[in-house]
Amino acid sequence: MKHLLYGTTAMVTAGILMSGSAFAADKVKMGVGGYMNAFFVVADQDDGTGEPGANRREHGLSREGEIIFNGKTTFDNGLQVGVQVQLEAETCNDQIDESFMWFSGSFGRVNIGSENAAPYLMQYASPTPSHWAHGLNSPNYMHVSVGAHASGRFPTTRQLLASDSEKLTYFTPRLAGFQFGVSYTPDRCEEATAGSVPIACGGSYAGLPSDTNDIGEIWEGAVNYIGNFSDVAVRLSAGYGFGEDEVGGAGREDPTEWSVGGQVAFAGFTVGGAYKMRDNVEGGDGVDRTDANIGLRYATGPWGVGIQYAYVDADSGTGSDEMDGYEVGGSYALGPGVVLSAGVQYFDFQDDANNPANENEAIIGFVGTHVAF
């Protein structure tokens, strides 16, 4: 497959060079956008002695944002070239979330840099009842404490085998509703704080990354379909990925990951769901994890309401820890780029060893505002 992607990239490059005059009217011009959101949160969770909620405040404020720099130019031959840099709006372990360049034209699109892989970008899953900052699939906020529960309290059917590590991704043009994508990641590391996952590469002047201390040679492929039948919109997706464990030794194995998902929309209703299976998580032999979600949302004018369910079954080393999560919520578009949202979540974390320090039931309420600019 490596030769396939290298060959495809070479053909794309040749197509760009042979497609006629490649002069652009202007250099790439940068624009500034982004978002900021803030929520007031209340929580009621198990807080007995030794339980995860012990000594936790029952209310608080949560805030998050990014400043996103986008730029592109269009050449005379139709080729578009662009860049994107996502700067966290507060100090983080990874101050630059993602940064990459891209090329787009009749050949499709190529991404080069720190960006999620094709299966992540192409997936369809359950719609979020309130706003993506919460929701139960790759949420920005999770307000419940769960101790050492194997789920890590973070449900997601997004494929994250290589996360934002430096990679090369190619997307085909969409044909008859279908589009294909493939990503190659040499080494699963990022320029982040030591101890992070993916691991820290050490910076631009550290030389090429090691091939013995993490997961490398990661290949991920995906396909999705978009179709409209009368007043019904159908969205389907599937992805697969695998990598090489480069640590070696007892208890280590190559990780794999696959997912399927879809949405159907009609008359203001959107129903959808997704399922992901990950084997040998982080290279741990026999350490497996399953994530799934399903949801329904109805929107009319500026209003939207919905319900969502998420499930996690994660290997804890001695058995399987499980998480059930529910959300009921809604949103109101106050104006262009300004959305008010609120919701209630319920979580039930079950530990395979019935350890109270890793089990929890929690009810979370939140209300807040998202501002895009």
pLDDT in tens, 174-214: 999 999 999 999 998 876 554 556 667 766 666 787 777 78
Q: Average pLDDT for residues 83-102, to the nearest whole number? A: 91
Give the pLDDT band of residue 268 (cuts 50, 70, 90): very high
Q: Which residue has the higher pLDDT, 258 or 14?
A: 258
Answer whether residue 152 shows pLDDT above 80. Answer: yes
Q: Average pLDDT for residues 296-312, to the nearest whole number? A: 98
pLDDT of residue 202: 66
Q: Which residue has the higher pLDDT, 199 or 135?
A: 135
pLDDT of residue 307: 98
What DSSP letter does each residue of 15-60 carry, written as one string?
Answer: HHHHSS---BSS--EEEEEEEEEEEEEEEEE--STTSTTTT--SEE
Percent of the chain with pLDDT over 90: 73
pTM above 0.85, yes or no: yes
135-139, 217-221, 331-335, 355-359: which has the minimum mean pLDDT? 355-359
- Residue 33: which of 270, 353, 372 has the closest Cα? 372
Residues 200, 148, 294, CA angle at the centre, nearest 5°? 90
Give the pLDDT band of residue 93 (cuts 50, 70, 90): confident
The domain spans of the chain are: 35-372
Mean pLDDT (the chain) is 90
Answer whether residue 82 shows pLDDT above 90. Answer: yes
Residue pair 306/297 in contact by the 8 Å Cβ criterion? yes
pLDDT of residue 354: 86
Give the architecture-level CATH label for domain 35-372: Beta Barrel (2.40)
Q: How many other C-beta atoms are found inside a 10 Å radius of the C-beta of residue 194?
A: 8
Please state, in angstroms and rounded to a whole number, the distance separating the CA atoms of residues 330 and 332: 7
48-57, 184-193, 250-259, 318-327: which has the minimum mean pLDDT? 184-193
Alpha carbon distance, N-terminus to C-terminus of the chain = 40
Q: Average pLDDT for residues 123-134, to the nearest whole number? A: 96
Beta bridge mates, 96: 87
Tell me, rounded to whole angstroms, the distance of Cα 192 from its chain centroid: 18
Please state, in angstroms and rounded to a whole number, the distance separating the CA atoms of residues 371 and 373: 7
Answer whether residue 343 shows pLDDT above 90. Answer: yes
Write out the two tokens for 11.
């053909």
Write out the two tokens for 287.
């350490």
